[in-house]
């Protein structure tokens, strides 16, 4: 899929396919270096992190295991509240595991702070966060994010796993939508 397939839906491309691929390679080599000699469990947060997980995992030289979680944060409208419900839990016991959470985007950071303390409470040896995108709000919360791909402006973005009403997840780049899409 490319921009031609999307008609007039795209307003602006913020991160291109090539930029994502290049940055993921850099992040993968940081992760390879930091976890040298340790077994890593990548934990992807469904559904948004599917693309990041698939491409990051293949850019790594380390042999990793992969598991998935699905969570929903209750909130009014599009803002998350920090009250999180687990829709699908991990299949893996985290005791003494080195866990790397793989996320698509951090906005308020509320979902991740909850997830971080939840996973830590299961006796993991370490829990770190890797996200492709980060919005400015995320900087305000006390959240130590080890690996960040790109800082993006405070706008609603789609593509590369990110959706608007479950659409646009298979767009290979990150973009904002034209106003008519929301009407």
Q: Which residues are catalytic?
A: 107
Told to check if 101 binds ligand IMP by CB under 6 A, we report no
Q: Are 46 and 39 in contact (CB under 8 A)?
A: no
- Looking at beta carbons only, is 131 or 176 nearer to Mg ion? 131
- Looking at beta carbons only, is 50 or 175 nearer to Mg ion? 50
Told to check if 105 binds ligand IMP by CB under 6 A, we report yes
Told to check if 44 binds ligand IMP by CB under 6 A, we report no
Q: Are 99 and 67 in contact (CB under 8 A)?
A: no
Told to check if 104 binds Mg ion by CB under 5 A, we report yes
Number of residues that bind ligand IMP (CB under 6 A): 16
Told to check if 162 binds ligand IMP by CB under 6 A, we report yes
Applying CB under 5 A, the residues found at the interface with Mg ion are 45, 48, 104
């Amino acid at each position: 899929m490319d921009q031609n397939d999307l008609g007039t839906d795209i307003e602006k491309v913020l991160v291109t396919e090539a930029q994502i691929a290049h940055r993921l390679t850099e992040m993968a080599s940081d992760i390879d270096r930091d976890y040298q000699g340790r077994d890593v469990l990548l934990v992807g947060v469904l559904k948004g992190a599917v693309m990041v997980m698939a491409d990051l995992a293949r850019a790594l030289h380390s042999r990793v295991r992969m598991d998935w979680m699905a969570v929903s944060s209750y909130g009014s409208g599009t803002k998350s509240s920090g009250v999180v419900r687990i829709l699908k839990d991990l299949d893996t016991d985290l005791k003494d595991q080195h866990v790397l959470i793989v996320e698509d985007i951090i906005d308020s950071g509320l979902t991740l702070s909850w997830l971080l303390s939840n996973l830590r409470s299961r006796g993991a040896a370490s829990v770190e966060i890797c996200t492709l995108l980060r919005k400015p709000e995320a900087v305000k919360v006390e959240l130590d994010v080890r690996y960040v791909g790109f800082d993006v402006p405070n706008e609603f973005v789609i593509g590369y796993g990110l959706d608007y009403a479950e659409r646009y997840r298979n767009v290979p780049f990150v973009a904002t939508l034209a106003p008519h899409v929301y009407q």
